[in-house]
Amino acid sequence: MIHELRSTYFYCISLLSVYTCAVSVAVSVDGSLLYMTSYSHHRLLTLSMDGTVLSSLKDPALLGPAGVHLSETGQLLVCGHHAHNVVHVDGEGRVVTLASKTDGLNGSWIVY
């Protein structure tokens, strides 16, 4: 699995099919998908393990997305460094803010 992940990452960057400023990567529970934040392009990318971009989500709540975490139950969490928030992204691409600057967040990089 680690070899596959490493190969996919290098494959994507060498062909420039994925933005090269990936900050964080999470692997789906079943190991078939990668979720990658593109900090400088303000996007959350979903890729297959062969490096194919399946979706590219851009949302005002994903300003400078940094950390991404996928829980064991499949909850996808992303922290927006410039948006000063932590959001939940569902399977349809809907974004819900869970915590923000008014809750005390300031430039978060990591979420677990």
pLDDT for position 13: 44
Count of domains observed in the chain: 1
Which structural domain, as residue segments, surrounds residue 54?
Answer: 2-103
Tell me the C-alpha distance between 80 and 78, whole Å: 6
pLDDT for position 15: 42
Tell me the C-alpha distance between 26 and 49, whole Å: 12
Is residue 31 included in any domain, yes or no? yes
pLDDT for position 14: 43
Structure tokens at 49: 């393990």
User: What's CA 63's distance to the chain center, in Å?
Assistant: 12
| 61 CB neighbour count, 10 Å cutoff | 17
Is residue 55 included in any domain, yes or no? yes
Confidence band of 58 (pLDDT split at 50, 70, 90): very high
Is residue 110 included in any domain, yes or no? no
60-102 per-position pLDDT tens digit = 999 999 899 998 888 999 999 999 999 999 989 999 999 999 9
Is residue 64 included in any domain, yes or no? yes
Is residue 22 included in any domain, yes or no? yes
Is residue 42 included in any domain, yes or no? yes
Task: Say if residue 20's pLDDT is above 60.
Answer: no
pLDDT for position 87: 95
Q: What is the pTM of this model?
A: 0.78
The residue among 19 and 26 whose pLDDT is bigger is 26
Residue 82, domain CATH: 2.120.10.30
Q: Assess contact for 25 and 68: CB atoms under 8 A.
A: yes
Is residue 112 included in any domain, yes or no? no
The CA-to-CA distance between both ends of the chain, in Å, stands at 21
Is residue 24 included in any domain, yes or no? yes
If you average pLDDT over residues 39-50, what whole number do you get?
88
